[in-house]
C-alpha cells in the first residue's frame, strides 16, 4: 500500500499517522524524541507491509501486472488510486476533509521530526500528494513523478508508465482485487492496534 493507505490505516492521531507514513523514509527506525505514538505507527507500517506481502489476493493482482521489477510499486500506487475512488465505502469522514486535516496537523510537527522526514512531509502537503489519485490521468502523473526518481540503469529496463496499458486492460479485475483486499487490511489494523471506535475513522459494518 502507498501513502494514502498508510496514513488512513492509523489511529486518528497525528504522531501515529506520521510514524506510519514515514516508515519507509526513515527505514523503519525511530528517532530521538519520537513519541510512543510515532513508534506505534512505524510498527503498524511494518505489519501492513508484511501482511500485504503474504496476501494471496495481492499476489494474484501482481501476476496480472506481469513480471517486471516495478510491479510492486505500481500496484501500491494503483491500490491508493482505488482507495481514493472507493473512499466512501470504508471511511466515515470525507476524503478531502481527512487529507486537509492531516496536512494541517502535519505541518505543525516539523520540529519533532528528523530533517529528512520533515522535508518529505512538507512536499506531501505542498504538492497534495495524498489528494492526487482521483483519475487515471492523475495516476499516470504519479507514475511520471516516480519515474523521475528512478536510476538511469532501471529506466533502461522499464518504467512505471509502461504498466498503464496492462492496468487499463485489467482495470475491473484489479479493482475487485482491491475491494476484496482492503477490508482485510482494515481488520488487521483494528486487531493489531486495538483502536477504540473513537480512535479510528473506519465504518464498522465492512465485510472481511
The pLDDT of residue 205: 67
Instruction: Produce one character per residue of 66-95: b if its CB has 16 or more CB atoms within 10 Å, e if not.
Output: eebebbebbbbbbbbbbbbbebeebbeeeb
pTM: 0.94
State the Cα–Cα distance between residues 4 and 13, nearest whole angstrom: 15
| Extents of the domains making up the chain | 3-193
122-164 per-position pLDDT tens digit: 999 998 999 988 899 999 999 999 999 889 988 889 999 999 9
- Say which residue the cell 516539523 belongs to: 110
CA distance 181 to 164: 21
Reported as a single tens digit per residue, the pLDDT across 20-62 is 999 989 887 888 889 999 999 999 999 999 999 999 999 999 9
Write out pLDDT tens, residues 65-94: 998 999 999 999 999 999 999 999 999 999
How far is Cα 73 from Cα 77, in angstroms, rounded to an integer? 6
- What phi and psi values does residue 31 have, to the nearest 5 degrees? -145, 165
Amino acid at each position: 500500500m502507498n501513502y494514502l493507505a498508510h496514513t488512513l490505516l492509523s489511529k486518528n492521531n497525528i504522531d501515529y499517522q506520521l510514524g506510519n507514513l514515514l516508515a519507509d523514509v526513515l527505514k523503519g527506525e525511530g528517532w530521538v524524541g519520537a513519541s510512543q505514538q510515532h513508534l506505534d505507527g512505524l510498527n503498524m507500517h511494518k505489519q501492513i507491509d508484511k501482511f500485504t506481502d503474504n496476501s494471496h489476493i495481492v499476489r494474484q493482482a501482481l501476476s496480472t501486472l506481469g513480471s517486471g521489477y516495478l510491479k510492486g510499486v505500481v500496484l501500491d500506487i494503483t491500490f491508493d488510486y482505488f482507495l481514493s475512488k472507493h473512499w466512501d465505502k470504508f471511511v466515515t469522514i470525507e476524503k478531502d476533509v481527512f487529507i486537509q486535516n492531516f496536512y494541517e496537523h502535519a505541518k505543525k510537527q516539523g520540529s519533532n521530526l528528523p530533517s529528512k522526514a520533515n522535508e518529505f512531509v512538507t512536499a506531501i502537503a505542498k504538492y497534495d500528494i495524498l489528494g492526487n489519485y482521483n483519475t487515471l490521468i492523475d495516476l499516470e502523473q504519479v507514475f511520471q513523478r516516480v519515474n523521475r526518481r528512478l536510476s538511469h540503469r532501471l529506466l533502461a529496463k522499464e518504467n512505471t508508465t509502461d504498466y498503464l496499458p496492462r492496468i487499463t486492460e485489467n482495470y475491473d479485475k484489479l479493482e475487485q482485487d482491491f475491494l476484496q483486499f482492503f477490508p482485510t487490511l482494515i481488520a488487521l489494523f483494528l486487531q493489531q492496534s486495538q483502536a477504540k471506535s473513537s480512535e479510528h475513522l473506519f465504518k464498522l459494518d465492512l465485510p472481511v
